[in-house]
Amino acid sequence: MGHIRITKQFSFETGHALYGYDGKCKNVHGHSYKLSVTVIGKPIADPDHVKFGMVIDFGDLKKIVKTQIVDVFDHATVFNKNTPHIELAKELQNRDHNVLLVDYQPTSEMMVIDFAEKIKKHLPHHISLHSLKLQETETSFAEWYASDNE
């Protein structure tokens, strides 16, 4: 039996600011992100297996992405931990806002790299992460492919 790719889509709302950027995105703003997660594997061939015919149960993939990405980033504001906005970040945290301080510039490109690493760590051994697509707006997105990162 050959390899099959399956994709699950997610959405979440996240704010961010781009430290040192020379345009409007240096200001705190937010996006309605859409994340498409594609994994690849062979469907389970054992007819006695409860997941017979599945590469991975969509519910199992959902649990991984929800706990590692969606539940963490949804309705959070993400800052580079080296940002001069650190005072603002701490003030927001003191007011019980969900603030994430990350080791990278929180662009779609860097977020999708972070997401790939987090998801790969939690996939079953027989499943591989094939690709991610993180859509920031209707017309703008970043993509990560395993084949580009081997």
Catalytic residues: 25, 75, 136
Q: What does the buried/exposed string (b/e) look like for 38-66 if buried means 16 or more CB atoms within 10 Å of the residue's CB? A: bbbbeebeeeeeeeeeebbeeeebeebbe
Burial class (CB in 10 A: 0-12, 13-18, 19+), 2: exposed
